[in-house]
Structure formats: C-alpha cells, structure tokens
Structure 1
Amino acid sequence: MSERSPLTLADGVTLSLESWGPADAQITVVLLHGWCLDRRTWHHQIAALSRMTPEPRVIAYDTRGHGRSGSTRLTSATLGQLGDDLAQVLRHVAPDGPVVLAGHSMGGMTIMEYAHRFPDEFTSRVAGLLFVSTTAEGHTHTRYGLPPRLATLMRVGETFGAGLLARSGAWRPHRAVLPALRPALRWLLFGDEYEDAALQTTIKSVGRTTLRSIGGFRASIGDQQRLDTLTRLGDLPAAVLVGDRDRLTPPPCAEGIADALPGTELTVYPGAGHMLILERHEEVSSVLSAIVTQAGSAKRTPRAKRPRLRRAA
C-alpha cells in the first residue's frame, strides 16, 4: 500500500510524491525517472523492493513539469534545479538514515547534480547508487544509432524543435497525438524486444509531460559534464546498467561513468534499448535489490578500484 503526499518546493512548484514501505525502515530508496517520463516507469522495481526482507522505504516522485507534478518556469527547466529539488525532497521526506539513489536517464543526471551541488550532504547520506541508461557527458556520445552525418542533422533538428516546444508553455501533448508518436518512441527508446505494456506506459508518461519541459530541459541535458564529480564520490555500492541498442545514452556513456566512479560494476544488456527499467525489469530489480542489501550491511566487502564489465545474457 502506498502513501501519496504533495510536496511544495521553495519556488512554489508542487511535486507529486509517493512512498511505500515502513517509515522507520533502515534504508530509504529514492527512484528518479527520466526526461519526458514519470514515476510509473519504476513500477516493476517498486514491486520487487516491497518483497525484500527487511523491506526498505521507497520514495518516487514526478519531476517538475512531468507526470502529476506542477509545471516549471522555463528558467527552472535545468538539471541544476532538479539537483536542488532532490535535496529538498530528501530533507523533507527522508531527513535521517542512509539512502540509496537510483536514476534512469535524466534521473541519473539529477543524482550527479545533487552530488555536485551538495557534496557534504551527499557523502553523509548516500549509501548506494544505481545508474540506468544515463550519462555524465551530455550528448557527447549520442548518435541515435545513426551514421555521424545523419546524427548531426538529427541533433540540429532536435535542438531547433526543443526550442520551439520550450516556448509553448505548460500545455501537454493532446491525447489524440500520442498514437502517432508510437513508431518514433518505439524506435528511439526500445531495443529488439519489448512488451506492449512497456511501450504504453512510456507513451502515457510522455503525454503527461508539459511541452515546456519536453523542450526546456534539452539544453541542460546536452551540456552537462559531471565525470569530475563522480571521481570524488568515493567507494560505495554502485552499478551502471545500459542496453547495447540504447540510441540516446549508448554504452560509451555508461563506460565513462564506471571508469570515473571507483569499484562500479558495469553491465551491458544485448538487444536492450534506453527503457531498460521496463525492457529488462527483472534484471534491473535484482541489481537494485543487491545494492540495497549491501548498503544496509554493517560490514561492506572491500571493492576493486576498477569497474568489472559484465555482458548480460
């Protein structure tokens, strides 16, 4: 059974937040969704965490301008602001005890921003990390699965389109338009195999994102560079997961994170795309549960200083 509670941030934006599990749990897990998505994309992992013994507390919320949360001003559609938002969420909803942060796509970038802007707070609170289909290098490695010249043209078109959408206000895509987006979203976000329910969840999430957020966050996402931040985080239970068919944050993005963050295990999933938390939800849930278990252990096993690459079946 979950508990829903709105949280109004310092600038007046209200986040739609949901929590599961005992309030006095030893570990709190915070799940951060991707750009143009919402907290529903984590539903498989939430179910898996609720079956753990002892059960952790789980918190998931819709980012400003996404899902059921309030819209954002264009000037606040930045990763830096999302890092500030995460800090406020932790202070108000999980002020004590160790925290495991799991981020998909923009959610992973939000975690890096939080670490960059609040390093002491991060060090004192965070006991485990999971980065899924994300990057610390903006659009450096993004080629959309296309040849370089076509990728450059697509980025120009995407950037121009994002600028137009950013000025379109707090409107959301009309539901009549969503079925037309299905082929594009399937190609861009999914790999070789996927369940139709996963694609439907993704389409519905896009439909709840304001046009201002769809376009407004694009510049910040493309510009972020946080490898240096990762190198200063120290050695803690962490994993980086990516699909080898990911057209937005391909394996080189994950490799950069794993190289920068000491002891991190990198896993590449053949045939999987960007929506790894839906496409390979059992594997992602298993990795996240293992991190939560290790984060809650009084004695941590010494970890290697170089990442271990594992190619999943």
Structure 2
Amino acid sequence: MSGTHRQYFGDLAADSHGTADDRPPLVLLHGLSYDRRQWGPVLEELAVVDPGRRVLAFDLPGHGDSPRRDSYDLGEVAAVVHRAVNDAGLDAPVMVGHSLGGALVTVYAAMYPVRGVVNVDQPLLVGGFGDVLRRAEPVLRSPAYGQVWTSLLAGMHIELLPPAARELVRTATTPRQDLLLGYWNEILVTPAEDLGERRTREMDVIRSSGVAYRHVSGDELPPAYRRWLESVLPDVAVTVLPGGGHFPHLSHPAEFAKILAG
C-alpha cells in the first residue's frame, strides 16, 4: 500500500497509511502472537477499493516492535491503544480486530468513542476454549508451553489459506510464553460465567451508544452463540467468508477490504 510510514504513536509501533479526510479512520489490531504484518494483503486490496483511506495497523503491546508490559489485561491494553489513537490524532475510528484483537476492539468500544467495530472470527464467550486452556495451564506454565500453541494452531485450518497467506501466518508470529499467559490470564483466572457477564455488559454499552458492530467469521456461527450475540446486540451484522479457517481476512482480502471500505 503506497504512502506507508512506520512510526510510533504512544507506546505502539504502527504502519500509518493515507491521510485524514471525511472517511472514518481505521485502526487494525492483529491476533495473539502475530504483528501488524498480517494486515498486508488486506491493505493492498484496500488501496484499490478505498485509496488514501487513513489507516493505522498497530503492533499490540509485547508484539512486533511494540514494547512488552508487565500486564496484558485487556482493559489496560485498550487504554494503551487509546493513548496511541489519541497521539495519532484519530477521532472515533472504526476498530478492526482479528482473533484476540476482536475481543480487544470490543472492550475498546465499550470504553472509548468509536465509529464502528469489526470483529474478525473472535467469539466473545470463551466456552470450551476456556476449558481447554484451564486444562492445559500446567503445560502453559512449563517449558513445554509451545505444545499448547501448536495444538491450537492445528485447529485454525491454516492449510486452507492461499500459499502466500499461509506463509505469512506461519512466519509473522512470535508465540512467547509471557504473551500467552499474559493475554490469556483473564480466561485462566476468571470463571466463564463471570467473563460472559463482563462481555454482555460491554455489548450493552456498545448497543446503547449506537455503534455499528460487524462479526466476520470463516464459518457459520454456532447457533447458540449466534442467539446470544443477537440477543445482546440485535443490530449486529454477521458476515461469513468461508474457506479460510480462522483467517477469513487473509483468505478473502478483497472481500474483506470492501467490508472496511463500506
């Protein structure tokens, strides 16, 4: 994407694209262990369908070129992102997040002004995933922690992605133990019911503020989860981009760019 400038806003490294105009700026947040490089295919397509759009793709704390923190509590990380957004001079951006980033942009939207939210393949209820993590916690805290990440990665269906995107997912990642334990700490220490109530309260705030919320997934949402999502956010828009597993934005970057441009 032409006009890219790598710089820091607040404490976060970012690729900065485009210039401010009457279009809402976009803020892109990657998933756990990845970095801002993952948005490359989407940004290339966005430059075609929405040229010159103001976009910031951040490295989350502890990822890429952004410094580590002692705590990766989502509320605290959202505050770090907000300081970076303010430093960049963005006013009420559209927040776009993949995987963990999808949870983070939801938390952010319940705390700070936004124009919209795009959650890419991140269920907000931990459900069975929380059970898996809690069972794996002894291994996560051991030198063999990488086995847990490898096991989870196998279920993300990277093999479905185009070759270049598959290589990007496999190489632009640093699954360090401190990141996994830090960002997943909320799931490890908080009962699933309490987490569900927390996410419901956040969605109540988003609904009451009239923020447009879109969930983009690589497969149809489980019926029970979709019922919950539509109950807490009746106007939610759900888009399925099939065939890319956990990475629908990389399987269908042109279609995803059109969603962002819209």
TM-score of the pair, normalised by structure 2? 0.81
1:165 CA displacement? 6.4
Which amino acid in the other structure matches residue 134 of structure 1? Q
**Aligned residue pairs, count:** 251
- Is the CA contact 1:6–1:16 (under 8 Å) kept in the aligned structure 2? yes
Aligned residue number for residue 308 of structure 1: none
Separation of aligned partners in 2, 1:161 and 1:114: 31
Aligned residue number for residue 107 of structure 2: 113
Q: Residue deviations 1:198-252, cap 9 Å, x none?
A: 2221222323x4331122211225644412211222334332111238xxx9675
| Structure 1 residue 244 corresponds to structure 2 residue 244 | no
1:106 CA displacement? 1.0
Aligned residue number for residue 264 of structure 1: 236
Moved more, 38-47 or 230-239: 230-239
Q: Which has the larger radius of gyration?
A: 1
Separation of aligned partners in 1, 2:40 and 2:152: 20
What does 1:91-106 align with in structure 2 at a 5 Å threshold? Answer: 91-96=86-91, 98-106=92-100
- Is the CA contact 2:12–2:81 (under 8 Å) kept in the aligned structure 1? no
1:189 CA displacement? 1.6
Separation of aligned partners in 1, 2:244 and 2:224: 15
Separation of aligned partners in 2, 1:255 and 1:199: 32
1:188 CA displacement? 2.1
Aligned residue number for residue 52 of structure 2: 55
Q: 1:47 aligns to what SS in structure 2?
A: helix
- Is the CA contact 1:63–1:69 (under 8 Å) kept in the aligned structure 2? yes
1:2 CA displacement? 0.7
Separation of aligned partners in 1, 2:22 and 2:205: 28
Aligned residue number for residue 146 of structure 1: none
Moved more, 64-73 or 224-233: 224-233
Aligned residue number for residue 133 of structure 1: 121
| Structure 1 residue 87 corresponds to structure 2 residue 82 | yes
- Is the CA contact 1:16–1:62 (under 8 Å) kept in the aligned structure 2? yes
What does 1:5-44 align with in structure 2 at a 5 Å threshold? Answer: 5-8=7-10, 14-24=11-21, 26-44=23-41
Separation of aligned partners in 1, 2:233 and 2:97: 15
1:184 CA displacement? 4.8
Which amino acid in the other structure matches residue 197 of structure 1? A
- Is the CA contact 1:190–1:274 (under 8 Å) kept in the aligned structure 2? yes
Separation of aligned partners in 2, 1:251 and 1:43: 32
Change in Cα spacing, 1:275 to 1:89, as seen in structure 2 (3 Å) is same
Gaps of 5+ in 1: 9-13, 144-151, 174-179, 291-313
1:185 CA displacement? 6.4
- Is the CA contact 2:212–2:236 (under 8 Å) kept in the aligned structure 1? yes
Q: 1:274 aligns to what SS in structure 2?
A: coil
- Is the CA contact 1:33–1:103 (under 8 Å) kept in the aligned structure 2? yes
Change in Cα spacing, 1:256 to 1:93, as seen in structure 2 (3 Å) is farther
What does 1:1-313 align with in structure 2 at a 5 Å threshold? Answer: 1-8=3-10, 14-24=11-21, 26-53=23-50, 55-73=52-70, 76-96=71-91, 98-116=92-110, 118=111, 121-122=112-113, 126-137=114-125, 139-142=126-129, 154-164=132-142, 184=151, 187-190=154-157, 193-207=160-174, 209-221=175-187, 223=190, 224=195, 225-234=198-207, 235-244=210-219, 253=225, 256-290=228-262
Separation of aligned partners in 2, 1:56 and 1:23: 7
Ranges of 4+ aligned residues in structure 1 off by more than 6 Å: 180-183
Separation of aligned partners in 2, 1:272 and 1:106: 17
Q: 1:5 aligns to what SS in structure 2?
A: strand
1:61 CA displacement? 0.8
1:280 CA displacement? 2.6
Change in Cα spacing, 1:283 to 1:81, as seen in structure 2 (3 Å) is same
Q: Residue deviations 1:259-296, cap 9 Å, x none?
A: 42232211234444112221232322222221xxxxxx
Which of the two has greater helix per residue? 2
TM-score of the pair, normalised by structure 1? 0.69
1:191 CA displacement? 6.0
